[in-house]
Amino acid sequence: MEKIVSLCKRRGFIFQSSEIYGGLNGCWDYGPLGVELKRNVKNYWWRVMVHERDDVVGMDGSILMNRAVWKASGHEDTFTDPMVDCRSCKARLRTDQLVEKKGIKQCPNCGGKDLTAPRAFNLMFKTYVGATEDESSITYLRPETAQAIFVQFKNVLEVSRKKLPFGIAQVGKAFRNEINPRNFTFRSREFEQMELEYFCRAEEGMKWLDYWLEERLKFYENIGIPRAQLHVKTVPDGERAFYSKGTYDIEYDFPFGRQELEGVAYRTDYDLSQHQKASGKSLEYFDEETKQKFIPHVVEPSAGVDRTVLALICEAYSEDEAPDEKGKMETRVVLRLHPQIAPIKCAVFPLLKNKELLVEKAKEIVDLLRPHMNVFYDESGAIGRRYRRQDEIGTPFGVTVDFETLGEKDPALRDTVTLRDRDSMKQERVPVKDLPSILVSRIS
């Protein structure tokens, strides 16, 4: 994990938030490469969950909502984690993080057994809306994006004119005042979620739960996390939310252990019923065929953007051996990111930076590729070094413009370049004009 955290900082994937002031626990900033990776994950999610389907539409809700939303959803009363304090080292801990030795609970930090009794700690960040800070102006930063979907259910249904089953998707920030943020971005206080609420008839809830589990597993496979690394946990009765009839956790083997990437939950009609009751507004669906009105049930695949990004980096990180400039083998750090989500798809290098014609040609190639993908131009340092820098950030392809490209050695090779593959390090000679189509097909 240390190597991954250090690579993320060194190469501009992820920085500590407010770093120059000593940071802010549980908050992270994504740098130039991190933001590209994150955006690619969200875009791919949106593509497969919304654009490629007829039965899902999107929305983008506000982060602040009427406090009544959080009362009705149950978050104000029950969105809590049990917390204990260690009287020896003063650590504040989640009860499930305590270690148990010979039946006695201990502090995982100091081994202390003098612990306070567990008490409920609400994870929502409280804030005040407007100029007065009193009971009437309280609200919370949303701890999940889902509630905006439930409270807009009727509006979206009306404008989209969808019939059951159909879904509403949303990607956005969520905030939880986690007792112990840890494991890098895995447990943060500010994070992003990609959530779908898929509305259906009660009798089909379990069917859609299994359907969405399978779809979500395919999603991870398609962006480079093999099925063998994903584990499906069927959440047992006692651990599920009381209203859920079935929940699966999709877990991944992080370097710090097997942990949840996404929850796929059958939430029944709980949320819509609660909001209908509390608001007094009908959230029913009218079935034109049977002429019946009812509250739909919902299946929710809820994924974390930050956890997905972290899993992708962990999965992609590898070290192998490659020859240096003099042919001596050295360790190569390579991020084997799937081309689809790699921040930069192709790097373009002139062999030498002081040869005007090489530089000119390389820049022409950048212009040729730019409308199709994110490209990066680099002219500094030995070519081997430039390859290594791209390997380390997961750029799947490298194009080098050399004297052959200018037709100086063999006229038949004029306007061809070497195309290098990050993983195999193999190089092939391809015509410049074919580069866009070759790369586009390999990326998708």
User: Is 75 a residue that touches ligand ATP (CB under 6 A)?
Assistant: no
Number of residues that bind ligand ATP (CB under 6 A): 16
To ligand ATP, the closest distance from the beta carbon of 433 in angstroms equals: 44
Q: How far is CA 55 from the centre of its chain?
A: 23
User: Is 262 a residue that touches ligand ATP (CB under 6 A)?
Assistant: yes
Contact (CB, 8 A) for 343 and 8: no
Mapped to the 3 state alphabet, what secondary structure does 26-44 carry? CCEEECHHHHHHHHHHHHH
| E strands in 53-180 | 56-58, 80-85, 92-94, 99-101, 104-106, 119-122, 126-128, 138-140, 166-175
User: Is 267 a residue that touches ligand ATP (CB under 6 A)?
Assistant: no
To ligand ATP, the closest distance from the beta carbon of 251 in angstroms equals: 9
Q: Which of residues 194-253 bind ligand ATP (CB under 6 A)?
A: none
Judged by CB under 6 A, the stretch of 152-160, 299-307, 378-386, 431-439 that binds ligand ATP is 299-307
Q: Which of residues 132-161 bind ligand ATP (CB under 6 A)?
A: 144
Tell me whether residue 217 or residue 435 sits nearer to ligand ATP (CB atom). Answer: 217
How many degrees, rounded to 5, is the angle at CA 145 between CA 224 and CA 123? 105
At 378, list the tokens.
């680099």
Q: Which of residues 169-198 bind ligand ATP (CB under 6 A)?
A: 176, 178, 187-188, 191, 193
User: Is 300 a residue that touches ligand ATP (CB under 6 A)?
Assistant: no
How many degrees, rounded to 5, is the angle at CA 125 between CA 122 and CA 129? 130
At 278, list the tokens.
């509390």
Q: What b/e string do you get for 30-43 counting C-beta neighbours within 10 Å, with b at 16 or more?
A: beebbebbbebbbe
To ligand ATP, the closest distance from the beta carbon of 3 in angstroms equals: 21
Rounded Cα distance between 31 and 395, Å, is: 16
User: Is 261 a residue that touches ligand ATP (CB under 6 A)?
Assistant: yes
Per-residue x/- mask for ligand ATP, residues 80 to 119, rule CB under 6 A? ----------------------------------------
> Which residues would be at the binding site for ligand ATP (CB under 6 A)?
144, 176, 178, 187-188, 191, 193, 260-263, 302-304, 306-307
